[in-house]
Structure 1
């Protein structure tokens, strides 16, 4: 279905995301690594149109997070992330909305077992 070049691009992007996550606070790094791993596994056998969208969105995520992790940006803002445009919610499926809510709950827990909420959604 995909060429070997595609597989190489996916692996490079995944490794880049994990490297960028190293600059996050420990609890966010765990949450981010687990979420990225699950998403990449979940989309392993998707069709080519979905794969294109998936790779573009994760590439944008990696670029935006890398920019936020620069020392100068950290000194100015002292925060990571950005607000989600509420109009995007209209385009999400019910499963995506549930997943977004679960991710929000897990991120809001702070130090209290950040990856356990994501595991409950899989059951």
Structure 2
């Protein structure tokens, strides 16, 4: 693949991810946009082998999320995302594991709206 084709493919995927994120709830959209932006910046100068893996994974992510954001899927399942195969953890670097943990914490901590609502008993 030529350099021009590669750049075009990366830009098209990048824009697609942000377009798909528009269907997410606001707090997930912000987190998803920031994460995608950081990851694409971080991999801007990676080697061709890493670039291929990176683009394949983000393409799979965009396709999966686009399917889940269809109105019919939302009405049926009301779920976003999918579980990570535990076997993949064996192939991650320490830095990736820390990043994954930080992402998990950000995704599971209650939002400020939920914290300010008193419990009704």
Q: 1:30-109 alignment to 2 at 5 Å? A: 30-109=30-109
Unaligned runs of 5+ in 2: 113-121
Q: 1:100-119 alignment to 2 at 5 Å? A: 100-112=100-112
Aligned-pair CA distance for 1:49? 0.4
CA separation in 1, counterparts of 2:52 and 2:99? 21
Please report the RMSD computed on the Cα atoms of aligned residues, expressed in angstroms: 1.0
Tell me what 1:116 maps to: none
1:75-98 CA distances to partner (integer Å, 9 max, x unpaired)? Answer: 011110111111111111111100
Aligned-pair CA distance for 1:31? 0.2
1:66-123 CA distances to partner (integer Å, 9 max, x unpaired)? Answer: 00001111001111011111111111111110000000011112434xxxxxxxxxxx
1:28-61 CA distances to partner (integer Å, 9 max, x unpaired)? Answer: 0000000000000000000100000000000000
Determine which structure has more spread, i.e. the larger CA radius of gyration. 2
Determine helix, strand or coil for the equivalent of 1:37: helix
CA separation in 2, counterparts of 1:33 and 1:52? 21
The runs of 4+ residues in structure 1 deviating greater than 2 Å are 109-112
- TM-score for both structures, normalised by structure 1: 0.87
Aligned-pair CA distance for 1:4? 1.2
Q: Whose RCO is larger (CA < 8 A, sep 6+)?
A: 1
